[in-house]
Structure 1
Amino acid sequence: MQKTFSYRRQEVVQDAPVISEFVNRWPALFTVREINEEFMRITTLPLQAKFLAQLDKYTANLLKVFSNRGGAAGRKIRLLMAPTAKSEDIDLKRDYILRGLCVYLNEDSDTLIKEYLNANHEEAERGIAQTTMGLYVIRKNGADAVDKPEDVGVVIEGVELLHNLQSVSFGWAMLFGLIYTLNLCYPQELKFTFEFFQKVLMNMDSKKLSPKVQTLKIRMLQ
């Protein structure tokens, strides 16, 4: 994949191919390992390791900022974060921190994350086929909020590009990497959340922040 990178990059940037066609031409690219490698080729940064490590680094700061948020958003964040008090699972905490981040930035993670029960395969298949960009989460019937999902995957243009990811937060990281790999725009409904990923977590182009993300960053570091 290293040898064909320049050719593949030219194709992505200049031709903007349909995702299904691109997957057919480059099937080996769509694995966790290769997406990490491709992101490294494009940005010179490690994707998975840095995304999750930086999220962990800023967790205490984000929780502090969340606790000071008032109004409906503050109440929603506190309800979202409640399951983390019942579990020490790091993936669970990361997942809910990211959902709380969306709420804090006045965005809705439900526009990107679609959850389905494992007993309803047809509904999941229909939902995935209709997804422009997002994550799907498959859960067992009757699962508790602290239970791990059975499956997490990434979908773009109705094509399931990754599956069997270990957590929703891992899915966020892989989707972020795929946006760079495929030269796509951030989803408009979550533009500030993805700006936070890019400019705060990954420290890419970090001098040009929107006022909303700049304010969050300042409050995190106070």
Structure 2
Amino acid sequence: MELTFSLRQKEIVEMEPMVAEVMERWPALFTEAEEEFHRITNKNLMDDFRAGLNQHTPRLLQLYQARRTAFPPEMDQLLGRLDEEISSITLHRQTAALKGLPLYL
């Protein structure tokens, strides 16, 4: 992996290939043990994902609530459970935002 680092970095930065192509060509980049993606881009994807989720959760839940009747019953159940939660509300809101996204889309 050390020997091909500069080659991988150059290919990803200059050619900007699709993720599927990178996964096929450099599968080790996507293993947690290697953390190659972080080495190349200096980004932690999970931290970025969590930050984005924290940023967008309130708005997603507002969208779900506003159109609650237009969704299948699963969305109503999901939002109902959220209303009943009193412990670890942040985690439950994030979970509801993620589980509701496929129903919303």
Normalising by the smaller structure, the TM-score range is 0.5 to 0.7
Contact 1:56–1:94 at 8 Å: present in 2 too?
yes
Report the equivalent of 1:6. 5
Name the structure with the higher strand share.
Answer: 1
Shift of 1:102: 1.1
Name the structure with the higher helix share.
Answer: 2
Q: Normalising by structure 1, what TM-score?
A: 0.32
Q: Normalising by structure 2, what TM-score?
A: 0.58
Distance 1:51 1:14, change over 3 A: closer
Structure with larger Rg = 2
Q: Counterparts of 2:71 and 2:38 in 1: how far apart (Å)?
A: 36
Question: Is 1:98 aligned to residue 98 of structure 2?
Answer: yes
Aligned partner letter, 1:88: S
1:127-165 deviation line (CA, Å, top 9, x unaligned): xxxxxxxxxxxxxxxxxxxxxxxxxxxxxxxxxxxxxxx
Shift of 1:47: 0.8
- Equivalent runs, 1:144-159 vs 2, <5 Å: none
Taking only the aligned residue pairs, the percentage that are identical comes to: 26
Distance 1:64 1:15, change over 3 A: closer
Please state whether the residue corresponding to 1:93 is helix, strand or coil: helix
Consecutive aligned runs of 4 or more in structure 1 exceeding 4 Å deviation: 9-12
Unaligned ranges ≥5, structure 1: 17-25, 106-222
When the two chains are superposed, the root-mean-square deviation of aligned CA atoms in Å is: 3.4
Report the equivalent of 2:80. 82
Aligned partner letter, 1:6: F
Shift of 1:43: 4.4
Unaligned ranges ≥5, structure 2: 12-21
Q: Counterparts of 1:15 and 1:46 in 2: how far apart (Å)?
A: 18
Please state whether the residue corresponding to 1:99 is helix, strand or coil: helix
Aligned length: 89
Q: Counterparts of 2:76 and 2:4 in 1: how far apart (Å)?
A: 45
Distance 1:96 1:42, change over 3 A: farther
Report the equivalent of 2:66. 68
Q: Counterparts of 1:76 and 1:67 in 2: how far apart (Å)?
A: 13
Report the equivalent of 1:154. none
Shift of 1:51: 0.5
